[in-house]
Amino acid sequence: MPPRKAHGPDPGQAPYFVRPNGRGRNVPRAGSRGRAVPRPKAGPRRTARLTGRGGVLAIVVFSFAGTMVAHWAGTPAAPGVAFTLACLFGAVLVRPGDLLSLSVSPPIAFFAAVVAAESLLALGSEGFMRTLLLGLASRLAEVAPWLFLGTALVLVIGVFRGLPGNIRDLGDELNGRR
């Protein structure tokens, strides 16, 4: 496989994040004879993007909320549905460069949320550890199909959004090609 070209500016060009001539975003450009030239109208608005950490945090928060709703409302599918929706939104809204960190995190994020929720629910019980372990085991068993679905959604959406390129870049960095 030939080496990949690093994405960067052409020789003699500044990177995209450097403003030419030190101009800021809100400073009017001077035209001929010192008059201000109006800025061109902005193009279509870009959608909001999450970082990889933000996507994982969204999964944790949704899963925690779903677990608490399941306990109080008696709906055992609530944590699974919340987890799957969080995975879907996370995979769609995370920046393409952070897809690799998001794709490996959903099961761990769900486990952290369930441990936190079940610990909170087991606080007033007689046998804290026994209640916590039984709550964890039963919650993970009833949500297992949802875990597979949410993780598969992240991976499938990630493949179409550029996950293979992220994996290639990681391999290049680990092998010293970058």
d(CA 77, CA 81): 6
The answer to whether residue 165 is domain-embedded is yes
The answer to whether residue 22 is domain-embedded is no
The answer to whether residue 30 is domain-embedded is no
The answer to whether residue 45 is domain-embedded is no
DSSP string, 9-31: PPTT---TTSPGGG--SSSPEE-
**Range of 101's domain?**
52-173
The answer to whether residue 41 is domain-embedded is no
pLDDT reported for residue 176: 84
Helix ranges restricted to H, 21-127? 52-73, 78-93, 99-103, 106-121
Print pLDDT tens along the chain (178 aa): 556 655 555 655 555 555 555 555 555 555 555 555 566 666 676 776 888 899 999 999 999 999 999 999 988 899 999 999 999 999 999 998 889 999 999 999 999 999 999 999 988 888 889 999 998 999 999 999 999 999 999 999 999 998 898 889 888 888 888 7
Evaluate if pTM is beyond 0.85.
Answer: no
pLDDT reported for residue 116: 95
The answer to whether residue 19 is domain-embedded is no
The answer to whether residue 57 is domain-embedded is yes
| CB atoms near residue 125 (< 10 Å) | 12
Overall domain count for the chain: 1
pLDDT reported for residue 49: 84
The answer to whether residue 26 is domain-embedded is no
